[in-house]
Amino acid sequence: MCGIVGIYSTSPVNQGLYDALTVLQHRGQDAAGIVTLQEGNLFLRKANGLVKDVFHTRHMRRLKGNMGVGHVRYPTAGCASSAEAQPLYVNYPYGIVLAHNGNLTNQDDLKKELYEANQRHINTSSDSEILLNVFAHELQIDSNQSLSPENIFEAIEGVYKRCKGAFAAVALITGHGMVCFRDPYGIRPVVFGKKEVNGKTEYMVASESVALNALDFELVRDIKPGEAIYIDDDGNLHTQQCAEFHEPAPCIFEHVYLARPDSFIDDISVYRARLRMGEKLADKISRDWKEHDIDVVIPIPDTSTTSAMELAHKLNIKLRHGFVKNRYIGRTFIMPGQQMRKKSVRQKLNAIDIEFRGKNVLLVDDSIVRGTTSKQIVDMARAAGANKVYFASAAPAVRYPNVYGIDMPSAKELIAHGRTNEEIGELIGADKLIYQELSDLIETCREGNPKITRFDTSVFSGEYITGDVDNDYLDALDKKRNDLAKSDSADEKSDEDNDENDQTIMELHNVGGA
């Protein structure tokens, strides 16, 4: 899960990119970066940390130009090294920078192919560098000084033929313009918008529509699965379907957890989808637990609040905000290392005792991944004086890892993997555990856009829609994602961040020109 943004404007874009990245900060808190383009020169600033900590006034002043791209990242299976902060750059042909959200499922084969057949060396463990080099190589095949939209779209067709998995990417091609493309299944989201300024049209692409809203861009539409858009240096918009048609299957977990509630993804209101999740949960409780003794519904902030609100309303039960959240702590399920997660939960939430004391409480969360957070929250509710503690998940049981760009952990670390719902409830210490039905979750999203007939639900069903994920792939992924591997990666990151020669945390610098 990362956030990408690209802006073509008639005025400097540095502030707009910064503002957009702050709006997309929830999609990644590990690293941030911006590249701008002016008169054939690319200007870069990227480093580990939050947007507000990476960019200072001196950096912003040096990010010159009316076109640029930005990225916020959290690492998936790769190392958290600052060397992998995006956007990434390659100097041939033309000079290209790229920001990417997603994960290539055939990256190992591509890396070998790029080295042996294309004579391109990949310097990091990032699949984004692989995607960038594949795109660069496809542009290189027909490279000339009069690069046309047709040449660019043909190169992207080559990317689609070679790359498998999930990707939404935005790139700058020095001397030519900005291009954005989305994987053939539309797994990862990306939208584009426009606005008129002094009779000229400006364009913006972003992972979520909320970033467009923040900069007063009008949402035009989602970029279609397998589609590319290209804005040339003169501000002309070109679009083309570059991949053979696949039935769209966007990631349903965007609506459960990843996206902001004020975003629209594939014409589906995230907020309304979460309201319907609460409604479906209430229906299940009314159907399967008619004699419930719930006194109060308490959401676990913040993602579950919308669902909990509708659940309480439909069951005619009081909703109370029983937890105070420290908003300066990151999202816990994406934090490497079990000890860091345990410590973070205690720092992140504090219970208001009077909302729990002597009551039978129903805690509502968006999902349960490792179960570490859920268990501690149940314990906190009991310590605050709750009589009984019930737990409801707005999503079904997460039983399988994600391979399309979300850092769902090793299957062995997922509390629901290989366990019954009763066993999970016992492990987290709940008196009763209620999960959303997968069919109901799908319906909550399809109701927002009936044209979408299926979603990527692999974390719940174990069905991987790209058709190239088998047990061998999952076993290899397991080795990369287990906590021990991440602990080693975190140590490497700490060493690198203390290295005075680490170029990714240097002052803003020019990284190339045409």
Per the omega criterion (within 30 degrees of 0), is the bond before 87 cis? yes
Residues 6+ apart with CB under 8 A from 211: 3, 5, 20, 23, 24, 204
Q: What is the pTM of this model?
A: 0.91
Residues 6+ apart with CB under 8 A from 137: 114, 118, 120
Measured in Å, how far apart are the chain's first and last C-alpha atoms?
32
**Of 17, 20, 21, 19, whose CA–CA distance to 9 is shortest?**
17
The one-digit pLDDT tens for each residue of the chain (514 residues) are 899 999 999 999 999 999 999 999 999 999 999 999 999 999 999 999 999 999 999 999 999 999 999 999 986 554 556 778 999 999 999 999 999 999 999 999 999 999 999 999 999 889 999 999 999 999 987 655 678 999 999 999 999 999 999 999 999 999 999 999 999 999 999 999 999 999 999 999 999 999 999 999 999 999 999 999 999 999 999 999 999 888 999 999 999 999 999 999 999 999 999 999 999 999 999 999 999 999 999 999 989 999 999 999 999 999 999 999 887 765 554 454 455 445 566 678 999 999 999 999 999 999 999 999 999 999 999 999 999 999 999 999 999 999 999 988 789 899 999 999 999 999 999 999 999 999 999 999 999 999 999 999 999 999 999 999 999 999 988 887 665 555 554 444 444 443 433 333 233 334 433 3
Per the omega criterion (within 30 degrees of 0), is the bond before 93 cis? yes
Burial class of residue 422 in the structure, from the number of CB atoms within 10 Å of its CB (0-12 exposed, 13-18 middle, 19+ buried) = exposed
Q: Cβ distance 407 to 75 under 8 Å?
A: yes
Per the omega criterion (within 30 degrees of 0), is the bond before 483 cis? no
Residues belonging to the active site: 2
Starting from the edge strand earliest in sequence, which strands make up the sheet with 88-90, in order? 88-90, 96-104, 165-173, 177-182, 227-232, 237-241
